[in-house]
């Protein structure tokens, strides 16, 4: 039997509730990896639990209350009592990071905060560990999903800022009071944390200038599109002549920029350094289960030093015949019935055609189609039969299509 590892959970809202659920689902596997079985030994909300008792009965504290107080007080007391702390609280770290990191150092405990910036995108760990040896020159980030969703919708539909905001609220991508998201303050807190880590210098949120997206009009978006530009709320932290600039403002990007293709409520961070050129990470920036996953990753890291050798906790079968969508390109003779014959051979294997384009005439006739996902073995069986048709002028070419668009 694995020894229990007791977690004091402060806050049981969107993220705290999702964290408890996820921990319940993953506890066995974590026990198999770490030899310790994590369990929640106490929960604090406004109406439930007692902080002193929770602290006395836990090995680690997870702070998911949010805001400055009482979160700061509880985190400080937990660390002074020798507990590791995991938090998702960007406000707390961007205001009181130096004090908190100082106390963590003094008491030899870990203060982990992966979920405080860009949700589940592992940017904190990458800056603190993987890129610890890189001399970071600049960070660009889309670190607020609400504003990225609003700008994406304005660009996609041509709607006004107000309509896009109302849509974001109805889908749960924006809060009833979206002020701190749309005015750039939320992103500023996250950029202060990223800059602190990337440039090894204290950065307080008051040192981050920020501007929001409230003034952006449908006109701006229309012209931008004509010019091949996309508009994003971008956080930037960069070295300039031995100094540091940290700011958040709307900015246009050309299509080729790695952040230009980040749409909807997603977050992404680009880190630039002469040694690494550029690394971009993107993923969900918020949401209960997503944020809880980042919090749990921090808890596991605090329980045991990160493993340098992978553990085996299960034996999964390796599958080699999977479902894929396909692009199929055929050079065909220009005569009636070609499409019907190809479609019938595909249909016999259960393949259905999503879209089809017929191009060129005579010697140059081409038939190009995209086929809905099906087992690869069945698709290739159909392609083999298609390849034997007498009207094909060369072997058919098939390329897999990744259909996911994540927005």
Q: In this chain, which stretch among 59-67, 308-316, 320-328, 377-385 interacts with ligand NAP, using CB under 6 A? A: 59-67
Work out how close the CB of 57 gets to ligand NAP at its nearest, in angstroms, rounded to a whole number.
17
In Å, what is the CA distance from 274 to each residue of 41, 137, 191, 247, 277? 47, 8, 21, 22, 5
Residues 98-157 that bind ligand NAP (CB under 6 A): 115, 119
Number of residues that bind ligand NAP (CB under 6 A): 22
Question: 234-254: b or e for each residue (b if 16 or more CB lie within 10 Å)?
Answer: bbbbbeeeeeeebbbebbbbe
Say whether 190 is catalytic: yes
Q: Which residue of 42, 141, 184, 287 would you call a contact of ligand NAP, by CB under 6 A?
A: 287
Closest Cα partner for 7 from 40, 30, 36, 29?
Answer: 40
Segment near ligand NAP (CB under 6 A); pick from 45-53, 208-216, 322-330, 386-394: 45-53
Q: How many angstroms separate the most distant Cα atoms in the chain?
A: 83
Q: Is 47 in the site for ligand NAP (CB under 6 A)?
A: yes
Nearest alpha-carbon partner for 387 in 395, 397, 376: 395
Looking at the Cβ atoms of 44 and 271, the one nearer to ligand NAP is 44
Q: Distance (Å, rounded) from C-alpha 78 to C-alpha 127?
A: 25
Residue 396 phi/psi, 5° resolution?
-65, 150
Which residue from 33, 44, 54, 369 is in contact with ligand NAP, where contact means CB under 6 A?
Answer: 44
Position among 21, 28, 35, 45 found at the interface with ligand NAP (CB under 6 A): 45
Per CB under 6 A, does 97 bind ligand NAP? no
Looking at beta carbons, which pairs linking 341-348 to residues 24 or more positions away fall under 8 Å?
341/389, 341/391, 342/367, 342/369, 342/386, 342/389, 345/382, 345/385, 345/386, 345/389, 346/371, 346/379, 346/382, 346/386, 348/382
Cβ atoms < 10 Å from Cβ of 63: 26
Kindly write out the interface string for residues 228-267 of this chain, putting x where it contacts ligand NAP by CB under 6 A and - elsewhere. ----------------------------------------
CB of 125 to ligand NAP, least distance (A): 15
272, 283 in Cβ contact below 8 A? no
- The span from the CA of 58 to the CA of 55, in Å, is 6
Q: Which of 185, 190, 232, 354 is catalytic?
A: 190
C-beta of 114: minimal distance to ligand NAP in Å?
A: 10
Residue 267 or 324 having the CB closest to ligand NAP: 267
189 binds ligand NAP (CB under 6 A): no
Q: Which is nearer to ligand NAP, 70 or 373 (CB)?
A: 70
- Chosen residue from 9, 54, 55, 65 binding ligand NAP by CB under 6 A: 65
Q: Which residue is nearest to ligand NAP (CB)?
A: 13
- Give the C-alpha separation, 388 to 70, whole Å: 73
Contact residues for ligand NAP (CB under 6 A)? Answer: 11-16, 44-47, 64-66, 70, 88-90, 115, 119, 286-287, 291
Could you list the active site residues? 190
């Amino acid at each position: 039997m694995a020894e229990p590892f007791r977690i004091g959970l402060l806050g049981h809202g969107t993220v705290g509730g999702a964290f408890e659920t996820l921990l319940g689902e993953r506890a066995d596997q974590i026990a198999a990896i770490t030899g310790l079985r994590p369990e929640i030994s106490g929960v604090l909300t406004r109406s439930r639990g007692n902080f002193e008792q929770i602290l006395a009965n836990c090995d680690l504290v997870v702070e998911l209350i949010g805001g400055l107080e009482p979160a700061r007080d509880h985190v400080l007391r937990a660390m002074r009592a020798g507990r590791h702390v995991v938090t998702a609280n960007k406000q707390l770290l961007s205001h009181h990071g130096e004090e908190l990191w100082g106390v963590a150092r003094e008491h030899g405990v870990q203060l982990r905060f992966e979920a405080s910036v860009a949700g589940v995108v592992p940017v904190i760990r990458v800056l603190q560990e993987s890129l610890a040896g890189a001399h970071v020159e600049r960070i660009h980030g889309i670190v607020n999903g609400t504003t990225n969703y609003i700008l994406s919708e304005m660009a996609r539909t041509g709607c006004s800022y107000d309509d896009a905001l109302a849509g974001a609220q109805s889908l749960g991508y924006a809060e009833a009071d979206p002020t701190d998201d749309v005015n750039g303050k939320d992103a500023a807190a996250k950029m202060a944390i990223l800059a602190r880590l990337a440039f090894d210098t204290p950065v307080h949120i008051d040192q981050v200038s920020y501007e929001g997206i409230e003034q952006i009009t449908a006109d701006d978006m229309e012209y931008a599109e004509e010019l091949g530009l996309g508009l994003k709320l971008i956080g930037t932290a960069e070295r300039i002549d031995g100094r540091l600039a940290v700011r958040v403002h709307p900015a246009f990007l050309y299509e080729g920029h790695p952040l230009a293709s980040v749409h909807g409520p997603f977050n992404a961070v680009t880190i630039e350094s002469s040694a690494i050129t550029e690394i971009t990470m993107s993923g969900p920036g918020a949401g209960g289960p997503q944020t809880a996953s980042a919090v749990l990753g921090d808890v596991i890291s605090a329980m045991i030093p990160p493993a340098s050798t992978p553990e085996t906790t299960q034996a999964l079968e390796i599958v080699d015949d999977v479902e894929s969508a396909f692009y199929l390109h055929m050079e065909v003779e220009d005569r009636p019935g070609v499409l019907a014959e190809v479609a019938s051979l595909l249909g016999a294997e259960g393949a259905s055609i999503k879209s089809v384009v017929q191009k060129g005439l005579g010697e140059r006739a081409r038939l190009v189609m995209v086929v809905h996902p099906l087992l690869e073995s069945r698709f290739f069986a159909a392609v083999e039969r298609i390849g034997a048709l007498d009207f094909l002028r060369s072997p058919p070419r098939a390329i897999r299509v990744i259909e996911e668009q994540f927005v």
